[in-house]
Structure 1
Amino acid sequence: MIRPLLSRRLVLGGTVLLGVGLGVPLGRARAATLVQVRKQRGCSCCDGWVEHLRANGFICEVSTLDDLTSVKANLGVPEALRSCHTATAEGYVVEGHVPASALRRLLAERPAIQGLAVPGMPLGSPGMPGEPVDEYAVIAFAKDGTQRTFMRFSGERETI
């Protein structure tokens, strides 16, 4: 009997080793989330935010546009919460410099909201280097216009 070159054990073992090599905890491997990012041409902080997401295991597909006003309006981002880039992930809107940990929590909990936003461009938030770092809130917003604080941060560090 001829044995196939790649046995099931070899493939499964290689998959586990690849996951460990990529920093994925054993037993917790899952497909990476695709984040579709729309950014304005020439905005370097948007590139920094994309790199932050990629470094935290997200797959980013980036579209560069001259004007995002209609994108933000079509996705229902309230004007007061708008920032320099807009993204979508698994049906949620992600506006501005939202830390990867907040996005992970959103996707794990799946609350009945439209999305998350970090209005403005707080210093120290992902993609916005600078000192001293700002304290800021990640705001959850819903289609009915309600808003609430989802998480609080100082730079990239979650606060209570």
Structure 2
Amino acid sequence: MNSKFTLGTVAAITAAGFIGFATFGLAESDRAPDTDTAAITVPADRQMTIWRDPSCGCCDAYADYAEENGYHVTRIDDPDFDKRSVEVGVPEQGLGCHLAEVDGYYINGLVPVEIIQRLMSERPEITGITLPGMPTNAPGMAGKSGTLKTYAFGEDGVAVYSNE
């Protein structure tokens, strides 16, 4: 009789353990993913914050383009993005249609991702880069061909960064 009692007790404890484990596992899997954890897993050089005029369709097209090229984009509606751009050092004559920040650098305008990736790999001693205006052949615009002149800006002034 002692062996039946002991065997029954062990079986009950084992069953309770499995039920508790299964319930714990279900509770964990039913939770929504933690967005802070998701953001941490994206490398800093692939996280982009864009301050844009909320009515600018080109900025939305550019953000979509950046996402299609592997960036995690946070869009912030800011009708005064141009003032913010000047505050961070973008020359007034070099303003583009939005301001972005990627891993400590400011990117102003419709800069192609290849140039941003070059900036991330070279890591020059500058504040950022800008593609002035809204060139028709820039990402987010209708055209596809032609060169784009991108400028570096920072403490040492303004210089051509890329002419591609």
Tell me the TM-score normalised to structure 1 length. Answer: 0.70
Number of aligned residues? 122
Aligned to 1:43: 56
Amino acid at match of 2:82: T
Distance, in Å, in 2 between the alignment partners of 1:61 and 1:143 is 27
Aligned to 1:8: none
Structure 1 unaligned spans of 5+: 1-29, 154-160
The structure in which a higher percent of residues are strand is 1
* 1:54 to 2:77 alignment: no
SS in 1 for 2:160: strand
Structure 2 unaligned spans of 5+: 1-41
Contact 2:63/2:73 (<8 A) preserved: yes
* 1:73 to 2:80 alignment: no
Deviations 1:73-107 (CA, angstroms, capped at 9, x unpaired): 22111101101100111110100010000000100
* 1:150 to 2:150 alignment: no
Aligned to 1:141: 153
* 1:84 to 2:97 alignment: yes
Contact 2:53/2:79 (<8 A) preserved: yes
Distance, in Å, in 2 between the alignment partners of 1:92 and 1:67 is 19
Distance, in Å, in 2 between the alignment partners of 1:66 and 1:136 is 25
Aligned to 1:124: 137
Shift of 1:130: 2.9
Distance, in Å, in 2 between the alignment partners of 1:95 and 1:81 is 8
Q: Identity of paired residues, percent?
A: 31
Distance, in Å, in 2 between the alignment partners of 1:33 and 1:52 is 13
Amino acid at match of 1:148: A
Task: Give the structure with higher Rg (CA).
Answer: 2
Root-mean-square deviation (Å): 1.6
Tell me the TM-score normalised to structure 2 length. Answer: 0.69
Q: Relative to 1, partners in 2 of residues 1:151 and 1:69: Cα closer, same or farther, differing over 3 Å?
A: closer
Shift of 1:143: 2.4
SS in 2 for 1:120: coil
Matched ranges for 1:10-25 at <5 A: none
91-100 vs 73-82, which moves further:
73-82
Distance, in Å, in 2 between the alignment partners of 1:43 and 1:134 is 23
